[in-house]
Amino acid sequence: MLNSMTGYGGAEGQLDGVSYAVEIKAVNNRYLKTIIKLPEAIAFLEDEVDKCLRKNLARGTINCVVRVKSVAANVLFEIDEAALRSVVERLGAIGSSVGIGGTIDMASLLSLPGMVRPVLPDEEQSRRVREVVARLTQEAVDVLKQMREAEGSFLEADLKGHCEAMAIELAEVRQRSDGVIKEYAKRLRKRVDTLLAEAKLRLDEETLAREVAVLADRSDIAEELARLDAHLEQFRQICETEGQAGRRLDFLSQEMLREANTVASKAADAEIVRRVVDMKCLIERLKEQIQNVE
C-alpha cells in the first residue's frame, strides 16, 4: 500500500485551563524536511516534536504548528513593570526637557523587546506540558498518516493503470518485432532484384542472409523488452507491499525510460517506434505521479 506525501492532521487538548492545538501539514519533497513553530513558552519541546515527526514520516516537507491559548483567561505572559516604568519616566523627562508634550502609547511600549515575557512553567508543569504536547503531536501525526494512506490508495490505482497500459503496448511491440526481420528480408530482396534486373544478375543468397543477420543483430530488442517486463512486475509488487516506496519507484521509472529509449533507437520499424513513444508518455505520467508518493 502506497502513501501520499500530502495531507493534514490536527489534535487539540487542555491542561490546567490552557488549550493546546497541534496542526501538521505535509507537502511534497524529495527528502524529509520539518518546519516547527512553537510559542516561546514551550520552545524547549521543539526537539521532541521533531523526533516524533521523523519517527513516523519518511518524506515530505512537514509544517508543524503548536498553538497555546488560555481557556480560563489566565495570563500566559508577564510584563516587566520595572522596565516599562523606567521607559515611561525617561520619555516624560525627555519630553519636558525639549518642550514636547503628548500622550504615551502603551501598546507601542509593550512591543519593545523584553517588555513582555511568556510565563515559563516550572519543572512539574514542564513535565505535564511535555506529555500533553507529545500526545497531541502523535495524534495529529496519526490523522495525517490516515489521510496519506487514503490518498495513497488513489495514487496506487492510477499508477497500476498506467502499468497495465504499458504492458499492452509492450505486448504489441513484442508481437511486431517478431515479423520485422522477415519483412526486412523481403523488402531487401525485392529492392535488390529490381536494381539488378536490367543487368540480368542474381543476388547471392549468402550475401542476402548476411545482410539480414547484421540487421537482426543490430535491431534485436528482446533483452530490452524482457527487462521492461521485469521492471513492470517489480513496480506492481512494490506498490502492493511497501508503504514508503517513492524512491524505489522513481528509480524504476528512470530505468524503464532508459530501456524504452534503447528500444526506440534499435527498432527498425515505424510502428514499433510509435508504440515506444506511447510507452514513454506513460512512463512520464508515472514519474509525475511518483513525485507524490512517500
279 falls within a domain? yes
Q: How confident is the model at residue 73 (pLDDT cuts 50, 70, 90)?
A: very low
3-state SS assignment for residue 231: helix
DSSP assignment letter at 279: H
Segment 99-119, tens digit of pLDDT: 676 677 676 766 777 666 665
Query: Within this chain, do residues 215 and 264 fall inside the same structural domain, yes or no?
Result: yes
Q: Would you state the cell numbers that stand for residue 68, as one nine-digit string?
A: 497555546
Query: Within this chain, do residues 208 and 276 fall inside the same structural domain, yes or no?
Result: yes
165 falls within a domain? yes
Angle, in degrees to the nearest 10, between helices 270-290 and 246-266: 170
Query: Within this chain, do residues 223 and 271 fall inside the same structural domain, yes or no?
Result: yes
Cα(278)–Cα(276) distance, integer angstroms:
5
242 falls within a domain? yes
208 falls within a domain? yes
Query: Within this chain, do residues 203 and 130 fall inside the same structural domain, yes or no?
Result: no
pLDDT at residue 68, as a whole number: 86
Cα(152)–Cα(251) distance, integer angstroms:
19
2 falls within a domain? no
Query: Within this chain, do residues 30 and 135 fall inside the same structural domain, yes or no?
Result: yes
* More confident of the two residues 123 and 20: 20
- Bridge partners (DSSP) listed for residue 20: 13, 68
Query: Within this chain, do residues 249 and 174 fall inside the same structural domain, yes or no?
Result: yes
Segment 200-257, tens digit of pLDDT: 555 556 655 565 555 555 667 778 888 999 999 999 888 887 667 888 899 999 999 9
Q: How confident is the model at residue 43 (pLDDT cuts 50, 70, 90)?
A: confident
If one counts the domains in the chain, the total is 3
Residue pair 293/152 in contact by the 8 Å Cβ criterion: yes
Query: Within this chain, do residues 245 and 188 fall inside the same structural domain, yes or no?
Result: yes
Query: Within this chain, do residues 203 and 263 fall inside the same structural domain, yes or no?
Result: yes
116 falls within a domain? no
Identify the residue whose cell numbers are 514508503: 244
Q: 3-state DSSP helix/strand/coil percent for the chain, to nearest 5?
A: 65, 15, 20
Query: Within this chain, do residues 104 and 176 fall inside the same structural domain, yes or no?
Result: no
Segment 269-280, tens digit of pLDDT: 788 888 889 999
Residue pair 152/3 in contact by the 8 Å Cβ criterion: yes
36 falls within a domain? yes
Query: Within this chain, do residues 14 and 128 fall inside the same structural domain, yes or no?
Result: yes
Cα(158)–Cα(249) distance, integer angstroms:
14
Q: Which residue in 123, 138, 120, 145 sits closest to 13, CA to CA?
A: 138
Q: Which residue in 71, 28, 62, 48 sits closest to 127, CA to CA?
A: 48
- Up-side HSE of residue 199: CA atoms within 13 Å toward CB? 8
Find the CATH number of the domain harbouring 58.
3.30.230
Domain hosting residue 174, numbered range: 151-290
Segment 128-148, tens digit of pLDDT: 888 999 999 999 999 999 999
Q: Would you state the cell numbers that stand for residue 251, as one nine-digit string?
A: 528509480
Segment 146-168, tens digit of pLDDT: 999 999 889 999 999 999 999 99
Torsion, Cα 26 32 35 36, to 10 degrees, reads: 90
Query: Within this chain, do residues 173 and 194 fall inside the same structural domain, yes or no?
Result: yes
Residue 242: alpha-carbon gap to chain centroid: 15
Query: Within this chain, do residues 136 and 100 fall inside the same structural domain, yes or no?
Result: no
pLDDT at residue 199, as a whole number: 54
Residue 108: alpha-carbon gap to chain centroid: 44
115 falls within a domain? no
